[in-house]
């Protein structure tokens, strides 16, 4: 496979980079965190979304070194931004299924944070609903180890998988991210607004905060605010930004 060979070389050739999408606290109206999103500048195909190569990275096992690069680079860059601006931003990083199941995950994150000097409570890991539901006992153990280290944990793409809501309280989660497919249908599908509202109420009952993803307009925002959604992310607030764009935005906010 051509792309697999390219993927193998991409780390050495420094073809990956990260963009950061702001997450807004809806009470304060301020950026409280960012989600790191991986991009690949392929020498021939140009800029590729992870949706186009993460599945291949999982199949080939390359996701482990790539995921490690993402964590290291994102933590370093956010630490630098913090030193430069004095602003403490939470950093959310996506973990793929294979990374989450890697036995070395917990110790390697511990070492990485110590090396970089980023406070552990600033790192949030986003794990998809389907990854967590795949092996509930193992997932619960891993989440507890990560939580004991001081990290915060978010369930990503919530609503797209098969999780029984009753399983949620097994996991030590701080945040639940309502998938953007729900947000997209809020105004046209009454059942989706009802589900979204129910998810928010249920999460709050368990002490979990809710982030809505993919907010593209004011109507979506107003609905979510009226239902006490805690945080939001989406093009309405900001597209994913390069680190220099993010630095400018943070300065403007001061």
Contacts to Mn ion by CB under 5 A: 94, 126, 156
Span interacting with ligand G, options 115-123, 130-138, 190-198, 210-218, rule CB under 6 A: 210-218
| Range 4-63, binding ligand G (CB under 6 A) | 21, 37-38, 49-51, 54
**Residues 221/166/124/223 CA torsion (nearest 10 deg):** 0
Whether the CA torsion 137, 138, 140, 145 is positive or negative: it is positive
**Host H or E run for residue 157:** strand 152-158
Q: Decide if residue 6 touches Na ion (CB under 5 A).
A: no
Residue 174 CA to residue 154 CA, distance in Å, equals: 6
Q: Decide if residue 156 touches Na ion (CB under 5 A).
A: yes
Using the rule CB under 6 A, which residue among 146, 193, 214, 221 binds ligand G?
214
Q: Decide if residue 157 touches Na ion (CB under 5 A).
A: yes
**By C-beta, is 48 or 200 nearer to ligand G?**
48
Count Cβ neighbours within 10 Å for each residue of 67-104 and write b for 16 or more, e otherwise: bbbbbebbbebbbebbeeeebebbbbbbbbbbbbebee
Pairing of strands 30-42, 231-232: unpaired
Please list the alpha-helical segments (H only) found in 19-62: 50-60
Q: How far is the CB of 251 from Na ion (least distance, A)?
A: 28
**By C-beta, is 11 or 85 nearer to ligand G?**
11
Span interacting with Na ion, options 53-61, 82-90, 149-157, 231-239, rule CB under 5 A: 149-157
Binding site for ligand G (CB under 6 A): 21, 37-38, 49-51, 54, 70, 94, 96, 156-157, 180, 213-216, 233-235, 240
Binding site for Na ion (CB under 5 A): 156-157
């Amino acid at each position: 496979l051509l792309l697999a060979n390219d993927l193998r070389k991409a780390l050495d050739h420094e073809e990956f980079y990260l963009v950061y999408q702001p997450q807004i606290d809806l009470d304060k109206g301020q950026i409280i965190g960012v989600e790191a999103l991986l991009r690949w500048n392929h020498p021939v195909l140009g800029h590729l979304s992870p949706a186009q190569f993460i599945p291949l990275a999982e199949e080939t096992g390359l996701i482990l070194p790539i995921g490690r690069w993402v964590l290291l680079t994102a933590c370093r860059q956010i630490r630098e931004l913090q030193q430069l601006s004095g602003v403490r931003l939470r950093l959310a990083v996506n973990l793929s299924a294979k990374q989450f199941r890697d036995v070395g995950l917990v110790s390697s994150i511990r070492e990485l944070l110590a090396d970089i000097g980023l406070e552990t409570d600033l790192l949030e890991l986003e794990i998809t609903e389907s990854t967590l539901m795949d092996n509930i006992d193992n997932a619960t153990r891993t989440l507890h180890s990560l939580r004991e280290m001081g990290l915060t944990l978010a369930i990503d793409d919530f609503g797209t998988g098969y999780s029984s809501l009753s399983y949620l309280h097994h996991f030590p989660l701080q945040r639940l991210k309502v998938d953007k497919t729900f947000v997209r249908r809020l105004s046209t599908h009454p059942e989706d607004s009802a589900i979204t509202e129910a998810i928010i109420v249920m999460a709050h009952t368990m002490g979990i905060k809710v982030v809505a993803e993919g907010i593209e307009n004011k109507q979506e925002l107003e609905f979510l605010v009226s239902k006490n959604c805690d945080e939001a992310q989406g093009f309405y607030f900001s597209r994913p930004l390069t680190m220099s764009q993010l630095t400018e935005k943070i300065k403007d906010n001061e």
